[in-house]
Amino acid sequence: MIELNELKDAAQKAFPADQLSPDRDESWKLIAEMGWLMLPVPEELGGLGLGRDAATALHFELGRVLSSAPLITAMFSVQVLCAADKLANKAEWVERACSGEFITLNMLSNDVTLNDDGTLSGPLYAVPDADMASHVIVFVPGLSVLVPLDTDGVTVTERPLWDESRRLFEVTLEKCPVDRDLVIAEGDRSQEIGLGFKAESLLALAADSLGGATATLEMTVEYLKTRKQFNRPLAMFQSLKHRCADLKTQITAAEALLWSRAADMDASLADMGALKALAADVYQFVTEEAIQLHGGIGLTDEHQCHLFMKRAMLNLSLGGSGDELKERTGRQALAAFAAK
Protein backbone atom coordinates (compact mmCIF):
# COMPACT_ATOMS: atom_id res chain seq x y z
CA MET A 1 0.00 0.00 0.00
CA ILE A 2 2.91 2.34 0.73
CA GLU A 3 4.11 1.75 -2.81
CA LEU A 4 0.72 2.80 -4.11
CA ASN A 5 0.79 6.03 -2.11
CA GLU A 6 4.29 6.78 -3.31
CA LEU A 7 3.15 6.29 -6.86
CA LYS A 8 0.19 8.63 -6.33
CA ASP A 9 2.48 11.25 -4.82
CA ALA A 10 4.91 10.94 -7.70
CA ALA A 11 2.06 11.32 -10.18
CA GLN A 12 0.74 14.39 -8.38
CA LYS A 13 4.18 15.97 -8.41
CA ALA A 14 4.76 15.20 -12.09
CA PHE A 15 1.26 16.33 -13.03
CA PRO A 16 0.21 19.05 -10.56
CA ALA A 17 -3.51 19.59 -10.12
CA ASP A 18 -3.30 23.27 -11.09
CA GLN A 19 -1.94 22.51 -14.55
CA LEU A 20 -4.81 21.08 -16.52
CA SER A 21 -4.41 19.56 -19.98
CA PRO A 22 -0.61 19.38 -19.99
CA ASP A 23 1.05 19.18 -23.39
CA ARG A 24 0.77 15.69 -24.84
CA ASP A 25 4.28 15.21 -26.16
CA GLU A 26 5.93 16.63 -23.02
CA SER A 27 3.72 14.44 -20.86
CA TRP A 28 4.53 11.38 -22.89
CA LYS A 29 8.26 11.96 -22.45
CA LEU A 30 7.77 12.40 -18.72
CA ILE A 31 5.70 9.21 -18.47
CA ALA A 32 8.39 7.20 -20.25
CA GLU A 33 11.12 8.73 -18.08
CA MET A 34 9.23 7.93 -14.89
CA GLY A 35 9.17 4.29 -16.00
CA TRP A 36 5.41 4.07 -15.66
CA LEU A 37 5.06 1.97 -18.79
CA MET A 38 7.02 -0.74 -17.03
CA LEU A 39 4.57 -1.01 -14.13
CA PRO A 40 2.50 -3.90 -15.49
CA VAL A 41 5.44 -5.62 -17.23
CA PRO A 42 6.49 -8.86 -15.48
CA GLU A 43 9.84 -8.77 -13.74
CA GLU A 44 11.30 -11.48 -15.99
CA LEU A 45 10.76 -9.09 -18.91
CA GLY A 46 12.53 -6.28 -17.12
CA GLY A 47 9.39 -4.64 -15.72
CA LEU A 48 8.16 -3.88 -12.23
CA GLY A 49 5.44 -6.53 -12.17
CA LEU A 50 3.11 -4.36 -10.10
CA GLY A 51 -0.55 -5.19 -9.65
CA ARG A 52 -3.43 -3.56 -11.41
CA ASP A 53 -3.99 -1.15 -8.55
CA ALA A 54 -0.71 0.60 -9.39
CA ALA A 55 -1.77 1.33 -12.95
CA THR A 56 -5.23 2.29 -11.66
CA ALA A 57 -3.68 4.87 -9.34
CA LEU A 58 -1.87 6.46 -12.28
CA HIS A 59 -4.89 6.55 -14.56
CA PHE A 60 -6.87 8.15 -11.73
CA GLU A 61 -4.26 10.88 -11.25
CA LEU A 62 -3.89 11.53 -14.98
CA GLY A 63 -7.66 11.71 -15.28
CA ARG A 64 -7.64 14.46 -12.67
CA VAL A 65 -5.49 16.69 -14.83
CA LEU A 66 -7.05 15.68 -18.17
CA SER A 67 -3.77 14.25 -19.36
CA SER A 68 -3.66 13.96 -23.10
CA ALA A 69 -0.83 11.42 -23.19
CA PRO A 70 -2.05 8.02 -24.39
CA LEU A 71 -1.12 6.04 -21.26
CA ILE A 72 -4.23 3.86 -21.28
CA THR A 73 -3.57 2.74 -24.84
CA ALA A 74 0.15 2.33 -24.26
CA MET A 75 -0.32 0.14 -21.19
CA PHE A 76 -2.78 -1.98 -23.15
CA SER A 77 -0.31 -2.51 -25.98
CA VAL A 78 2.64 -3.10 -23.66
CA GLN A 79 0.66 -5.83 -21.96
CA VAL A 80 -0.30 -7.38 -25.27
CA LEU A 81 3.39 -7.45 -26.24
CA CYS A 82 4.31 -9.08 -22.92
CA ALA A 83 1.73 -11.79 -23.51
CA ALA A 84 2.90 -12.43 -27.09
CA ASP A 85 3.99 -15.98 -27.81
CA LYS A 86 4.91 -15.71 -31.50
CA LEU A 87 6.66 -12.37 -31.62
CA ALA A 88 10.29 -12.48 -32.75
CA ASN A 89 12.56 -10.41 -30.49
CA LYS A 90 9.77 -10.02 -27.96
CA ALA A 91 12.06 -8.75 -25.17
CA GLU A 92 13.35 -6.05 -27.46
CA TRP A 93 9.82 -5.02 -28.40
CA VAL A 94 8.80 -4.80 -24.77
CA GLU A 95 11.84 -2.70 -24.03
CA ARG A 96 11.12 -0.38 -26.95
CA ALA A 97 7.51 0.07 -25.88
CA CYS A 98 8.49 0.68 -22.26
CA SER A 99 11.05 3.28 -23.12
CA GLY A 100 8.59 5.42 -25.03
CA GLU A 101 8.06 4.06 -28.52
CA PHE A 102 4.33 4.39 -28.78
CA ILE A 103 2.44 1.46 -30.23
CA THR A 104 -1.26 2.09 -30.61
CA LEU A 105 -4.30 -0.12 -30.95
CA ASN A 106 -7.91 0.57 -31.64
CA MET A 107 -10.24 1.04 -28.69
CA LEU A 108 -13.40 -0.02 -30.53
CA SER A 109 -14.13 -2.91 -32.87
CA ASN A 110 -12.57 -2.89 -36.33
CA ASP A 111 -13.63 -4.04 -39.77
CA VAL A 112 -10.28 -5.43 -40.83
CA THR A 113 -10.28 -8.75 -42.67
CA LEU A 114 -7.53 -11.19 -43.50
CA ASN A 115 -7.48 -11.53 -47.29
CA ASP A 116 -6.96 -14.84 -49.08
CA ASP A 117 -3.49 -13.69 -50.10
CA GLY A 118 -2.55 -13.20 -46.44
CA THR A 119 -2.73 -9.40 -46.48
CA LEU A 120 -4.95 -7.22 -44.26
CA SER A 121 -7.60 -4.80 -45.46
CA GLY A 122 -10.17 -2.59 -43.81
CA PRO A 123 -10.59 0.26 -41.35
CA LEU A 124 -9.66 0.48 -37.64
CA TYR A 125 -11.79 3.02 -35.81
CA ALA A 126 -10.90 5.24 -32.87
CA VAL A 127 -7.17 4.58 -32.86
CA PRO A 128 -5.61 6.89 -30.25
CA ASP A 129 -2.70 9.12 -31.12
CA ALA A 130 -1.77 7.31 -34.34
CA ASP A 131 0.23 10.39 -35.36
CA MET A 132 2.86 9.63 -32.73
CA ALA A 133 2.73 5.83 -33.02
CA SER A 134 5.21 3.64 -34.86
CA HIS A 135 2.89 0.63 -35.14
CA VAL A 136 -0.70 -0.34 -34.64
CA ILE A 137 -1.68 -3.71 -33.18
CA VAL A 138 -4.33 -5.29 -35.36
CA PHE A 139 -6.62 -8.03 -34.07
CA VAL A 140 -8.48 -10.16 -36.59
CA PRO A 141 -10.03 -13.53 -35.77
CA GLY A 142 -7.21 -15.96 -35.06
CA LEU A 143 -4.41 -13.41 -35.46
CA SER A 144 -2.87 -10.40 -33.79
CA VAL A 145 -0.03 -8.59 -35.46
CA LEU A 146 1.99 -5.39 -35.36
CA VAL A 147 1.57 -3.29 -38.49
CA PRO A 148 4.05 -0.43 -39.02
CA LEU A 149 2.15 2.75 -39.74
CA ASP A 150 4.60 3.75 -42.47
CA THR A 151 3.83 0.64 -44.53
CA ASP A 152 2.46 1.10 -48.01
CA GLY A 153 -1.30 0.72 -47.95
CA VAL A 154 -1.77 2.31 -44.50
CA THR A 155 -3.74 5.57 -44.39
CA VAL A 156 -4.01 7.54 -41.17
CA THR A 157 -6.71 10.20 -40.88
CA GLU A 158 -7.44 12.21 -37.79
CA ARG A 159 -11.08 12.66 -36.80
CA PRO A 160 -11.14 15.71 -34.55
CA LEU A 161 -13.08 15.26 -31.31
CA TRP A 162 -15.12 17.61 -29.20
CA ASP A 163 -12.80 16.44 -26.42
CA GLU A 164 -9.54 18.16 -27.26
CA SER A 165 -7.68 16.29 -24.53
CA ARG A 166 -7.68 13.18 -26.66
CA ARG A 167 -6.87 12.48 -30.30
CA LEU A 168 -8.40 9.66 -32.32
CA PHE A 169 -7.57 8.51 -35.81
CA GLU A 170 -9.05 6.24 -38.40
CA VAL A 171 -6.42 3.85 -39.73
CA THR A 172 -7.27 2.14 -43.00
CA LEU A 173 -5.34 -0.86 -44.28
CA GLU A 174 -5.31 -1.68 -47.98
CA LYS A 175 -3.71 -5.04 -48.74
CA CYS A 176 -1.11 -4.63 -46.01
CA PRO A 177 1.28 -7.57 -45.84
CA VAL A 178 1.58 -9.47 -42.54
CA ASP A 179 5.22 -9.61 -41.48
CA ARG A 180 5.64 -13.05 -39.83
CA ASP A 181 8.22 -11.60 -37.43
CA LEU A 182 5.59 -9.16 -36.18
CA VAL A 183 2.88 -11.71 -35.42
CA ILE A 184 1.98 -11.48 -31.73
CA ALA A 185 -0.24 -14.49 -31.35
CA GLU A 186 -2.44 -16.79 -33.34
CA GLY A 187 -5.55 -18.88 -32.82
CA ASP A 188 -7.40 -18.78 -29.48
CA ARG A 189 -4.38 -17.29 -27.76
CA SER A 190 -4.77 -14.13 -29.81
CA GLN A 191 -8.40 -13.73 -28.79
CA GLU A 192 -7.51 -14.43 -25.17
CA ILE A 193 -4.89 -11.69 -25.11
CA GLY A 194 -7.24 -9.17 -26.65
CA LEU A 195 -10.02 -9.87 -24.15
CA GLY A 196 -7.70 -10.12 -21.15
CA PHE A 197 -6.35 -6.64 -21.56
CA LYS A 198 -9.68 -5.25 -22.67
CA ALA A 199 -10.73 -5.75 -19.03
CA GLU A 200 -7.75 -3.72 -17.89
CA SER A 201 -8.51 -0.91 -20.29
CA LEU A 202 -12.05 -0.73 -18.91
CA LEU A 203 -10.59 -0.48 -15.41
CA ALA A 204 -8.29 2.28 -16.68
CA LEU A 205 -11.19 4.22 -18.19
CA ALA A 206 -13.10 3.90 -14.92
CA ALA A 207 -10.09 5.30 -13.05
CA ASP A 208 -9.72 8.13 -15.56
CA SER A 209 -13.42 8.94 -15.16
CA LEU A 210 -13.36 9.03 -11.38
CA GLY A 211 -10.14 11.03 -11.29
CA GLY A 212 -11.79 13.54 -13.60
CA ALA A 213 -15.03 13.54 -11.61
CA THR A 214 -13.08 14.18 -8.40
CA ALA A 215 -11.26 17.14 -9.93
CA THR A 216 -14.49 18.53 -11.40
CA LEU A 217 -16.28 18.41 -8.06
CA GLU A 218 -13.34 20.00 -6.23
CA MET A 219 -13.27 22.81 -8.79
CA THR A 220 -17.02 23.32 -8.52
CA VAL A 221 -17.10 23.37 -4.72
CA GLU A 222 -14.22 25.84 -4.71
CA TYR A 223 -16.12 28.10 -7.09
CA LEU A 224 -19.29 27.96 -5.00
CA LYS A 225 -17.32 28.84 -1.88
CA THR A 226 -15.83 31.90 -3.55
CA ARG A 227 -18.60 33.27 -5.72
CA LYS A 228 -20.97 35.61 -3.85
CA GLN A 229 -24.53 36.57 -4.71
CA PHE A 230 -27.23 37.96 -2.40
CA ASN A 231 -24.37 38.93 -0.02
CA ARG A 232 -23.37 35.37 0.68
CA PRO A 233 -21.26 32.64 -0.87
CA LEU A 234 -23.24 30.39 -3.18
CA ALA A 235 -21.98 27.44 -1.13
CA MET A 236 -24.23 28.58 1.71
CA PHE A 237 -27.38 27.80 -0.25
CA GLN A 238 -28.63 24.43 0.82
CA SER A 239 -30.08 23.62 -2.58
CA LEU A 240 -26.59 23.81 -4.07
CA LYS A 241 -24.90 22.17 -1.10
CA HIS A 242 -27.10 19.12 -1.29
CA ARG A 243 -26.38 18.66 -4.96
CA CYS A 244 -22.67 18.73 -4.22
CA ALA A 245 -23.15 16.25 -1.37
CA ASP A 246 -24.93 13.87 -3.76
CA LEU A 247 -22.14 14.19 -6.30
CA LYS A 248 -19.58 13.48 -3.59
CA THR A 249 -21.57 10.43 -2.51
CA GLN A 250 -21.80 9.07 -6.02
CA ILE A 251 -18.11 9.58 -6.73
CA THR A 252 -17.04 8.03 -3.43
CA ALA A 253 -19.21 4.95 -3.82
CA ALA A 254 -18.03 4.37 -7.38
CA GLU A 255 -14.44 4.89 -6.28
CA ALA A 256 -14.83 2.26 -3.57
CA LEU A 257 -15.88 -0.17 -6.30
CA LEU A 258 -12.94 0.94 -8.44
CA TRP A 259 -10.35 0.00 -5.80
CA SER A 260 -12.10 -3.20 -4.91
CA ARG A 261 -12.17 -4.30 -8.56
CA ALA A 262 -8.57 -3.17 -9.10
CA ALA A 263 -7.54 -5.54 -6.32
CA ASP A 264 -9.76 -8.38 -7.46
CA MET A 265 -7.77 -10.51 -9.89
CA ASP A 266 -10.85 -12.66 -10.51
CA ALA A 267 -13.06 -9.82 -11.72
CA SER A 268 -14.56 -10.80 -15.06
CA LEU A 269 -14.74 -8.72 -18.22
CA ALA A 270 -18.40 -8.08 -17.40
CA ASP A 271 -17.47 -6.95 -13.87
CA MET A 272 -14.98 -4.44 -15.26
CA GLY A 273 -17.53 -3.33 -17.83
CA ALA A 274 -20.08 -2.73 -15.07
CA LEU A 275 -17.52 -0.64 -13.21
CA LYS A 276 -16.61 1.39 -16.29
CA ALA A 277 -20.28 2.02 -17.08
CA LEU A 278 -20.96 3.16 -13.52
CA ALA A 279 -17.86 5.36 -13.36
CA ALA A 280 -18.53 6.95 -16.75
CA ASP A 281 -22.15 7.65 -15.75
CA VAL A 282 -20.95 9.33 -12.56
CA TYR A 283 -18.37 11.38 -14.47
CA GLN A 284 -20.98 12.46 -17.00
CA PHE A 285 -23.44 13.53 -14.30
CA VAL A 286 -20.81 15.35 -12.24
CA THR A 287 -19.64 17.36 -15.24
CA GLU A 288 -23.19 18.08 -16.36
CA GLU A 289 -23.95 19.44 -12.91
CA ALA A 290 -20.63 21.30 -12.76
CA ILE A 291 -21.53 23.50 -15.72
CA GLN A 292 -24.97 24.19 -14.29
CA LEU A 293 -23.55 25.04 -10.86
CA HIS A 294 -20.98 27.39 -12.41
CA GLY A 295 -23.67 29.23 -14.32
CA GLY A 296 -22.76 31.33 -17.37
CA ILE A 297 -19.02 31.15 -16.74
CA GLY A 298 -19.29 27.38 -17.18
CA LEU A 299 -20.36 27.91 -20.76
CA THR A 300 -17.32 29.94 -21.69
CA ASP A 301 -14.46 28.45 -23.60
CA GLU A 302 -11.90 29.94 -21.23
CA HIS A 303 -13.31 28.12 -18.19
CA GLN A 304 -12.28 24.51 -17.64
CA CYS A 305 -15.71 23.03 -17.02
CA HIS A 306 -16.30 22.08 -20.62
CA LEU A 307 -12.98 20.27 -20.90
CA PHE A 308 -14.08 17.82 -18.24
CA MET A 309 -17.59 17.57 -19.67
CA LYS A 310 -16.32 16.69 -23.14
CA ARG A 311 -13.93 14.08 -21.81
CA ALA A 312 -16.71 12.59 -19.68
CA MET A 313 -18.95 12.35 -22.71
CA LEU A 314 -16.19 10.63 -24.68
CA ASN A 315 -15.59 8.19 -21.82
CA LEU A 316 -19.23 7.11 -22.05
CA SER A 317 -18.48 5.66 -25.47
CA LEU A 318 -14.83 4.57 -25.23
CA GLY A 319 -14.47 0.91 -24.33
CA GLY A 320 -18.11 0.25 -25.13
CA SER A 321 -21.35 2.05 -24.33
CA GLY A 322 -23.07 1.85 -20.97
CA ASP A 323 -26.03 0.18 -22.64
CA GLU A 324 -23.89 -2.62 -23.97
CA LEU A 325 -21.87 -3.05 -20.77
CA LYS A 326 -24.87 -2.97 -18.45
CA GLU A 327 -26.73 -5.49 -20.55
CA ARG A 328 -23.73 -7.80 -20.37
CA THR A 329 -23.62 -7.40 -16.58
CA GLY A 330 -27.32 -8.12 -16.34
CA ARG A 331 -26.88 -11.25 -18.40
CA GLN A 332 -23.98 -12.44 -16.27
CA ALA A 333 -25.93 -11.75 -13.08
CA LEU A 334 -28.98 -13.54 -14.38
CA ALA A 335 -26.87 -16.63 -14.86
CA ALA A 336 -24.99 -16.21 -11.57
CA PHE A 337 -27.94 -15.47 -9.32
CA ALA A 338 -29.77 -18.61 -10.22
CA ALA A 339 -32.99 -19.21 -8.37
CA LYS A 340 -32.49 -20.64 -4.90
Partner 1 sequence: MTEGTELAELRQEVRGWLDANAPTGWRDSNDDHEAFAQSQREWFAKLVEGGYAIPHWPAEWPGGGRNLAEQKVIYEELARADTPRLLLSFVSTYHAASTFFECGSQAQKDRYLPKILEGETWCQGFSEPNAGSDLAALKTKAERKGDVYVINGQKVWSTMAQYADKCLLLVRTSSDGPKQAGITYLLMDMKAKGVSVRPINQIQGDQEFCEIFLDDVEVPVEERVGEEGQGWAVAQATLASERGLTLMELSYRMRGALWRIAELIRKNGLEEDAGVLRDFGHLVARTDSACAIADQFLRNRIDGIERVGDASIVKNTYSRVLREYSLLGTRLGGMEEQYRAPITFGDLNTGNWMADFMNSYAWTIAGGSEEVQRNIISERMLEMQREPKNWVVS
Binding positions for partner 1, 274-313, rule CB under 8 A: 274-275, 277-278
Q: Find the Cα–Cα–Cα–Cα dihedral 15, 274, 41, 190, rounded to 10°.
A: -140
Contact 221, 241 (CB under 8 A): no
Q: Is 232 in the site for partner 1 (CB under 8 A)?
A: yes
**At residue 42, what are phi and psi to the nearest 5 degrees?**
-60, 150
Q: Which residues pair with 176 in a beta bridge?
A: 120
Whole-number minimum distance, CB 226 to partner 1, in Å? 10
- Report which of 163, 153, 61, 171 is spatially closest to residue 105, judged by C-alpha positions: 171
Find the part of the chain contacting partner 1 (CB under 8 A) among 81-89, 167-175, 273-281, 308-316.
273-281
Given the complex with partner 1, which of 62 and 262 has the nearer CB atom? Answer: 262
Given the complex with partner 1, which of 129 and 255 has the nearer CB atom? Answer: 255
Binding track, positions 208-227, relative to partner 1; x by CB under 8 A: -------------x--xx--
The 3-state DSSP class for residue 304 equals coil
Q: Which residues pair with 170 in a beta bridge?
A: 157
CB neighbour burial string for 114-138, b if at least 16 within 10 angstroms, e if fewer: beeeeebbbbbbbbbbbebbebbbb
Interface pick for partner 1 out of 7, 149, 244, 314 (rule CB under 8 A): 244
Whole-number minimum distance, CB 159 to partner 1, in Å? 28
Q: Which residues bind partner 1 (CB under 8 A)?
A: 221, 224-225, 232-233, 235-236, 238, 241-242, 244-246, 248-249, 252-254, 256-257, 259-260, 264, 266-267, 271, 274-275, 277-278, 322-323, 325-334, 337-340
